[in-house]
Structure formats: structure tokens, C-alpha cells
Amino acid sequence: MGSVLGNPRWLAGTAAGLTAAVLSLWAMRGLPLGFAAFWLTPLPLFGAGLGFGPGAMAWAAGLAAAIHIAVAGVLPTAVFLIAFAVPALLLVLFGFRQGRIDPGMPLALLGIWPAIVILGAGLAFAGSPGGLEGMIRGAVEQSLQRMGATSAGIPVAELTQVMAAAMGFWSAISLSVNGAAAQSALARSGHALAPTPRWSTVRLPGWYPFLPGAGAACWLAFGGPEDAVWLSVLLVLLLPVFLQGIAAVHRRSQGRPGRQIMLGFFYAGLVILSVPAAIAVTAFGFYEQWGRRTSPPGGTT
């Protein structure tokens, strides 16, 4: 016990595991501010991993999972592991490269991991009525009933098609934001294991853009007009390319007059013209991966 208490890595991992378990279970119990607590769950895990190494992070994740098993049962534990613990650990493991952080592979994992989870869920619910689509549709209709609304006038079919992709999107955003926040705080305090990379210069691995192409082919070959599995897989595989497009906009705007105003209009366009703007930014991300031959000076954003 003394060796554990005297080891900063294990102490950090223990503190991170306890905090992550409290945040996750707080949300799962439906307590006030539970929505915010749920999406902040990976923050302490990243703090342990980026400040004290993957070993401390693995210990934190294992401790938090054990607490979930003891307090809440198997299903909440599976949600915690699949949504946060396992992907966060993978991001840190694949991000460290010889004393530095290479964000390329972690960016790719933000699309690969949700795609794996969606395919696994599709297989798990294949024997149930309607498969994964039927399960999601039932969950959407039940949520509408709890809110006192009816399905009339609400595009339940459309929501069912994209719900799995939306969950993968928000999970990826939570992981990336919490990881960046933990690294920034550790770097400012001098406890980061590696310098903070310039996210605006991120590049996906050269092989990654083939994955969305494979996802599109599978959707066309095996999906249907009401398919929720292959469409969601395609959408989450496009997410890293979309994020790379956003990073490229930041990099190319560096040093230009009125940069902040330009970026403000850019993000306003993403909100107002969500689908066309997302398609355009994703196309720009593909161009950055394959069409760009030389890199302009990188920014610090």
C-alpha cells in the first residue's frame, strides 16, 4: 500500500478513476447537471494519461469500471467503457510518438471507433424486431412520450436513420474537447508529458480517406432507404475528414486581415447552412488530404 501511495502515477490514476466514476454515475442517476457531467467524464482520464502516461490512464479506467460494476451493474459499465474509457485510452496510446503527440491517428480513431461500435450494435440487435433501427425507433418514440409529445409532425424515421451517427458525433466531440482541455491545462501547469501540438496542422494518415469510400460502397450495396447502420457508419467515418477541413480553414486564415471575423462567419455558416456547409468543409478536408501538395505556414490555433 505504501508503494502505491508513494507513486504519483498511481495516485493520479486513482484520483482520475474516482472522479470519472462520480461524473458518469452522477449523470446515469439523473442528478442535476447530469448532462454536463456525462460529457465531462473523459476529462479526468485524459488528465491521468497525458500527464502521467497510459499506465496511469489504464488504471483509472479500470478503477472507474470496477466502481460502475459494483454500484450500477453491467449495462452502465458497458456504456462507460464503450463511450469514454476505451476510446480515450486508445487516443492516448496512439497519440504518443517518441516524446511528442501526433494527432493524426487519434483524429482517425474519432471516426473508426464509433464505426466499430455501430457495426457491433447492429450485429447485437440483428435478431431483435427491426434490428438496430427498430431499437432506435422505439427509444425515440418512448422519449417523445415521456416529453408529452406525439410522433405526428416529428420526422421519427429520419431521426432513426441518423441517431446512431449523432451519438457517435457527440462522443467524438466530447473526447476531442476533453482531451484538448486536459492537455492545455497540463501544459500550462508544466505537467504535460509532451508539448501541445498545433491542431490546425493535423493530417490524417494517408490510408484513412479510403475508409469513407469503403463505407459509402457498403451503404450502397447493403443499406436501404431506411438503413440506420451503414448510413451511420458512413457519416461517422466522414467526421475526421470534416474536422480536418475545419483545421485547414484555421490554418489558411492565419495571418489574414480580419481573421476573427472570417472565422465567425465560417462557424455561423456551419450552424445556419448545416448540411451544405458540412459537405463543403468535408470536401475541403479531402482536398487537404490528397489535393494539397505544399503546406502553407501553420497557425497556432
Judge whether 288 and 244 are in contact, CB under 8 Å: yes
Instruction: Rank 77-86, 126-135, 269-278 by mean pLDDT and report only the highest.
Output: 77-86
Instruction: Rank 16-20, 140-144, 162-166, 285-289 by mean pLDDT and report only the highest.
Output: 16-20
Q: Tell me, yes or no, if the pTM score tops 0.75.
A: yes
The mean pLDDT of 39-56, rounded to a whole number, is 94
- The DSSP output letter for 290 is I
Helix/strand/coil (H/E/C) assignment for every residue in 186-244: HHHHCCCCCCCCCHHHCCCCCCCCHHHHHHHHHHHHHCCCCCCHHHHHHHHHHHHHHHH
- The DSSP output letter for 258 is T
Q: How many CB atoms lie within 10 A of CB 195?
A: 11
Whether residue 32 lies inside any domain: the answer is: yes
pLDDT given for residue 19 in this prediction: 96
* pLDDT interval class at 154 (50, 70, 90): low
Whether residue 254 lies inside any domain: the answer is: no
Whether residue 80 lies inside any domain: the answer is: yes
pLDDT above 80 (res 295): no
| Distance set, CA 49 to CA 52, 113, 194 (Å) | 5, 19, 11
pLDDT given for residue 296 in this prediction: 46
Whether residue 12 lies inside any domain: the answer is: yes
Whether residue 217 lies inside any domain: the answer is: no
Q: What's the pLDDT tens digit per position in 1-17?
A: 555 566 888 899 999 99
Higher pLDDT, 97 or 154: 97
Domain count across the chain:
1
Q: How many helices (H) and strands (E) does the chain have?
A: 14, 2
pLDDT above 60 (res 300): no
* Averaged confidence pLDDT in the chain: 85
pLDDT given for residue 148 in this prediction: 60
- The DSSP output letter for 128 is S
Whether residue 75 lies inside any domain: the answer is: yes
Whether residue 76 lies inside any domain: the answer is: yes
Helices (H), 125-155: 131-146
Residue 38 lies in domain: 1-97
- The C-alpha atoms of residue 271 and residue 275 are separated, in whole angstroms, by 9
Q: What's the pLDDT tens digit per position in 73-117?
A: 999 999 999 999 999 999 999 998 878 899 999 999 999 999 999
Whether residue 88 lies inside any domain: the answer is: yes
The mean pLDDT of 216-230, rounded to a whole number, is 80
- The C-alpha atoms of residue 229 and residue 116 are separated, in whole angstroms, by 11
